[in-house]
Structures are given as structure tokens and as C-alpha cells.
Amino acid sequence: MSEQGGTGRHGRNAGGGVSVSGIGEFGLIGKITARLSYGPTALLGPGDDAAVVTAPDGRVAASTDVLVDGRHFRRDWCSALDVGHKAAAANLADIAAMGATPTALLVALCMPADLETGWAEGLADGLSAEASSVGASVVGGDMSSSPTLTVAVTALGDLEGRPPVLRSGARPGDVLALAGRTGYAAAGLTVLTRGFRTPRVLVEAYRRPQVPYAAGPQAATLGATSMIDVSDGLLADLGHVATASGVAIDVRRDAFDVPRQMADAAQALGVDPYTWILAGGEDHALAATFPPAVALPAEWRPIGVVTHGAGVTVDGAPYDGPTGWDHFR
Amino acid sequence: MSEQGGTGRHGRNAGGGVSVSGIGEFGLIGKITARLSYGPTALLGPGDDAAVVTAPDGRVAASTDVLVDGRHFRRDWCSALDVGHKAAAANLADIAAMGATPTALLVALCMPADLETGWAEGLADGLSAEASSVGASVVGGDMSSSPTLTVAVTALGDLEGRPPVLRSGARPGDVLALAGRTGYAAAGLTVLTRGFRTPRVLVEAYRRPQVPYAAGPQAATLGATSMIDVSDGLLADLGHVATASGVAIDVRRDAFDVPRQMADAAQALGVDPYTWILAGGEDHALAATFPPAVALPAEWRPIGVVTHGAGVTVDGAPYDGPTGWDHFR
């Protein structure tokens, strides 16, 4: 696509490395696609007008998430590799939350012209590694110069013959269960915001979420009635399930242990750790509801119940802390 | 996804309209999804963790393109509706260029917090209208605040049982043919750049490309050996085909009539109109190669030949004008 206006021609950026404008669009695309690896779901990878991906059951699950520099990540807090993992995880978790297995990622990358090419390569490595960890591949993308570094990712997935698990299927009497962890990434962000770099387990959780991808298809197979990716904060995301399903959800606070390092950090920083656990996003845990007769495997920890009514409560009472995020406020 | 940092809380923007930060993320998502319409390919539209789209032959074609404010469009030259049409067309054309029929779009929209909500709604209307024109639907997306207005679109498509038509299949002896028009959008851009608003046919072509979508699957059915969406400029994009196929391509200049209004504008602006026709992008014509025995229908106009060798020539000689665009230079 042609462009109006233009950036200056910089062969090298301020750091002395080769900049994306120095190498040019096609040079950079070549360098990046050479770093990617392709699994069996990628029938045709980058390099043509479109990629071709398997969709064995005749449907494809598809989700898009965008990360903006300074809002969803900071380059002084996260390496390019981290941002790649993080961007991929945010999207792959959405696919898992439908009960689907991810197959492919496509990436639209907007970069300042003086960005070092190594940053784009690191990003590609992170995206590719996170995708590979679930058998998916980075199959395509686009790049443009932009004043604001932005990574928009689309993930595709295979429902493997099952119906998608929606947000709208929770029923009174269902058990609410959680796979994965909450509060770690939010605690890590608070730690970084206050100028610290440790505890590492929290900071690393913020940099690279550990997503229980396999628990998504597992929940679908077990008969989960609803499921959601916890990206905005547990209570905020359960609020989406409660609204979509026309039910009330109660979370038991004692279902959550506060891990020692989180407790220590909370004390040092003067924060209630349950604010992180109940309202922090970005760990990409999966929350699902199951009929009470379902025997839950170890991956799925009961944390509450679904009842008649509306809204989300904690131990039967409204929660009065912060509950989540709005991207424009 | 949670965010670091934040924008100010502005209920209204400078123009007096309601801003995206005033209405908030979920309010805006509600307003936008209410404007969309869904065709039969959209098994599940926006509102859950992922959409679900039909992929009847067990494969899905997928492509991503990003448009950046000030680089790919200017808000004083294009309405939000225009940008929606343009962003959708750029992606849908990539799907058509594989010989596939588009099924769905997903959109990642990054917006300054003071952008009027009406702009986002207009964009959604344009995306949805362009998608609907080919039977596809806007099935999902994401939004974030960002200093730079950016529209990243992913298109999905159905290959309908045919092999994808690649860039790499052109063979010496093939006929090169074109569906759609070239030079109109580039001429329109030059007109706007020089401060004029007419001829309307050129300016409108720049604002909303007229893409011959149906010619893509038609070419695949006819046995096209290669195909590409002309987005960077005819000669530049044919260069990709020549390289991928290991062939030379010669274009006949006399295959192109210069339409009267383009000739008039070229004369008034002191431009060689063949610069627009041979090197201008953004009309999203489709260029394909066919075995010489194929009887081409009216949609496909022969414009050259494939030969042994390398590179692209015009009337047998190297072309010494500008040939295309690099997004970082």
C-alpha cells in the first residue's frame, strides 16, 4: 500500500544499530520471516497475499488484540522478546477461552522508523515461540512506519468439533472454577511502577504471562457451560459472564492463597494483595462454570458459585475495591 | 487487558462531540457492534472471547493489513466511512488475490482519546458495508487508546475447494492479465496533494477503491497460474510475481488507455499519466497469469506476457520511473 508523507531516511538509529528505515520494509520482512518456524497447521506461511491455515472441522475461531507502547507495555520494562510472548499470549488465551486449540497468528506491526531492527526481530521470536508452545505458527502480517509502536495480533483456532464455550451459558447451581493464576501480573506491574525489579516471579509474570492454554479445550470437553479469558481482572471479567448469562456469581476469597512473595511485596508496598488477585488482569487465567456433577481435574480449582440474580459478589457482598480496566479512561 | 499510564478524562472533544474517552471502551464497543450486520459466514459475531467463522473446505485464507493516519490516509482527505471502505478493501483484495471468497473481517482500532465517537462509528459503517458487498461480515475486534489513529484489519476467506493461487506459479508463455483499474487512486492522491478536490472520479478512487473481488475466484476457476493484488504499484507487484516464479514479465504500455479525466489531470499537473498507471498503488486491481490456451472473459484484460528470465520490463525495456513504495523510506 502506498503512503502519503514520509519519514526521514535514517540508515542507523540513535543507538547505532540498523534501523527499520535503514533496512527497508522488504529487507525487514525477509529477516523476520526467516526467523519463524511453521507447524502443520500452516498450509501456507508468509510471503503471498494471504496465508492458508487448516480449519479441520469447517469452522475457525478468530480473535484480535492490540498492544500499544506505553499503554500495554513499556520498552524499559519489557524486552522485545517479552512483548512478543505477551502479545501472542493475549490472543492465544482468547482462543483457548472458546475451548479451541490455537492454529495461527497474524501480526500487524507499526514501528517508528528509527526503531532498531533487532527489536522487531526479538518481537518475532517471542511471538513465534509462544505460538509454537501450543502448536500454532505465525503465518502472516503487515508492517508500517508509525510514530507509535503498536502490535496488533489476530489468532485463529480449531474447535475440534465441539461447540464454542460462550460467556452466556452459566446457569444457577454451576460451580465457578479457575485454571491458572491471577494477581501475579498486576503485582509485577505495581512492583515495576514503584521502581523495583523484584520479586522476579511477579515481574516475570507481568512480562510473560503463563497461560493454561490446554485447560481451555479440556473445559470444553468436560462440559463447561461458560468460559472467559481473565484479561481485564477476575471480577470485571466474571461481570461479563454474569451479564451475558443473566446470573449472579459469588467468588470465595478463601479459595485464593496469597503466595509468600506476593504477600511480602504487598506488605512492602502497602497494597491489599486481594486487589491484585481479584481485580488485576493480564495473567490470562481461564475462568469457567461447570455443572455441579462434573468432577473437576486438578487444573480447575473451584473458586465460587453461580446463583440466581445479577452481578458479581465476593463472599456474598459487593466488592468495593477497583474491579478492572477501561481502555479509554 | 490492563494498561499502564493513562490519558486524561475528557467527556467531550474539541469539536464538541462525544469523545471515545467520554463514552468509554465498553460503551463504544456497544455502539459499534450495534451498527454491524452479520451474514451466514458469521457463526458467532462480536461479544465473546473470539468469533467463529465458517471454513467449509477445512482451510481458511487469512491476511492482515494496517492503515496508519497520516501515512495511508488523511482525515482531511477521507471521511471515516471512506477509511472503513479503504481498510476493508485492502484486506478483502488480498483474499480475492488467492482465489478465495472473503468471509470475515476482524479490526484492531487504536484511537486518540479525544477522537469523536462518530468517527469510530463511521469507520465501522465503512468496514461493514465493504465487507457486506462481498458477503463477508465484521465479526470481531479490539480497541485501544493510542496517540496515533491506526486501523489494523485481518480478513478471512474461503478457498471453496480450490488450491490457493500463489505468486510463484507463473510460467514462460503465460499471458499476463489485469482485472480492475490502475492509476486512478494514485492520480487522486496526486490531485489531493496538490490541493485540488477534482476530478471526482480520481479523488473518489483514492478514497474508496473499486476492487474486482469476484475476478479472484473467477481466475482461480479459469486456471490462473499466479495472482497478486496490486497494492504497491503494478510494476512493483509484478516484480514480486517475477521473483517468486523465477520468470520475466513484460508489460505492454499500449494495453492501457489513459482515460480522459486522468489525461486532463496529468496535463494540468505536469505528470506522465503512465507513472500513475504503471507505478501507482491502492486501486487493488488483480493481476494474474494464465496459460495461453485459456479464453479470458471480459473482466480479464491481457496486458503482457511471461517469458524466461528475470525482472519486469515495459515494452521490452527497463522502466526508469518510480516503481512502488517502501513503508519505511
Of B20, B159, B328, the CB nearest to A328: B20
Task: Please give, rounded to a whole number of angstroms, the shortest distance from the CA of B118 to a CA of chain A.
Answer: 15
Residue B125, annotated as binding a ligand: no
Please, which pLDDT band fits residue B327 given cuts at 50, 70 and 90?
Answer: very low
DSSP states along A39-101: -TTEEE-BTBSSEEEE-TTSEEEEEEEEEEBTTTB-TTTS-HHHHHHHHHHHHHHHHHTTTPE
A245 to A226, A238, A248, A306, B39: CA distances (angstroms): 8, 10, 9, 10, 24
Least trusted range by pLDDT, from A14-28, A66-80, A208-222, B186-200: A14-28
**Backbone torsions φ then ψ of A133, nearest 5 degrees:** -60, -20
Please, which pLDDT band fits residue B14 given cuts at 50, 70 and 90?
Answer: low
Q: Helix, strand or coil for residue A182?
A: coil
Return the residue matching grid coordinates 477476575.
A234
- CB contact A95 to B (< 8 Å): yes
The answer to whether the beta carbons of residues A307 and A248 sit under 8 Å apart is yes
Backbone region of residue A16 per phi and psi (left: phi > 0; alpha: psi in -120 to 50; beta: other values): left
Q: pLDDT tens for residues B257-304?
A: 999 999 999 999 999 999 999 999 889 999 999 999 999 999 999 999
Q: B20-158, what's its fold?
A: 60s Ribosomal Protein L30; Chain: A; (3.30.1330)
Specify the DSSP class assigned to residue B17. S
Do B63 and A50 lie within an 8 Å CB cutoff? yes
Specify the DSSP class assigned to residue A254. G
Return the residue matching grid coordinates 535503514.
A22
Do B54 and A53 lie within an 8 Å CB cutoff? no
Q: Residue B10 pLDDT > 60, yes or no?
A: no
d(CA A284, CA A280): 10
d(CA B115, CA B104): 26
C-alpha cell at A140: 502472516
Task: Please give, rounded to a whole number of angstroms, the shortest distance from the CA of A297 to a CA of chain B.
Answer: 23
- The ipTM assigned to this model is 0.92
C-alpha cell at B17: 462531540
Q: Residue B183 pLDDT > 70, yes or no?
A: yes
Q: What local confidence, expressed as pLDDT, does residue B287 receive?
A: 98
DSSP states along B141-173: EEEEE-SS-EEEEEEEEE-TTSPP--SS---TT
In which residue ranges of chain B is CATH 3.30.1330.10 found? 20-158
Tell the burial category of A16 from Cβ atoms under 10 Å away from its Cβ (0-12, 13-18, 19+): exposed
Q: What local confidence, expressed as pLDDT, does residue B8 receive?
A: 34
Cα torsion A264, A269, A274, A277 to 10°: value is -80
Output the CA angle A117-A137-A134, nearest 5 degrees. 120
Specify the DSSP class assigned to residue B4. S
Q: Provide the β-strand partners of residue A110.
A: A144, A150
- CB contact A143 to B (< 8 Å): yes
Least trusted range by pLDDT, from A206-210, A278-282, B184-188: A278-282
Chain B CB contacts of A6 below 8 Å: 329
The answer to whether the beta carbons of residues A321 and B42 sit under 8 Å apart is no
Choose among B129, B155, B134, B104: nearest CA to B217. Answer: B134
Please, which pLDDT band fits residue A90 given cuts at 50, 70 and 90?
Answer: very high
- CB contact B2 to A (< 8 Å): yes
In which residue ranges of chain B is CATH 3.90.650.10 found? 175-314
Q: Residue B172 pLDDT > 60, yes or no?
A: yes
Do A327 and B144 lie within an 8 Å CB cutoff? yes
The answer to whether the beta carbons of residues A216 and A269 sit under 8 Å apart is no
Q: Residue B7 pLDDT > 50, yes or no?
A: no
Q: What local confidence, expressed as pLDDT, does residue B2 receive?
A: 37
The answer to whether the beta carbons of residues A185 and A72 sit under 8 Å apart is no
Mutate to test the interface with B, among A60, A75, A82 (most CBs of B within 10 A): A60
Q: A175-314, what's its fold?
A: Phosphoribosyl-aminoimidazole Synthetase; Chain A, domain 2 (3.90.650)
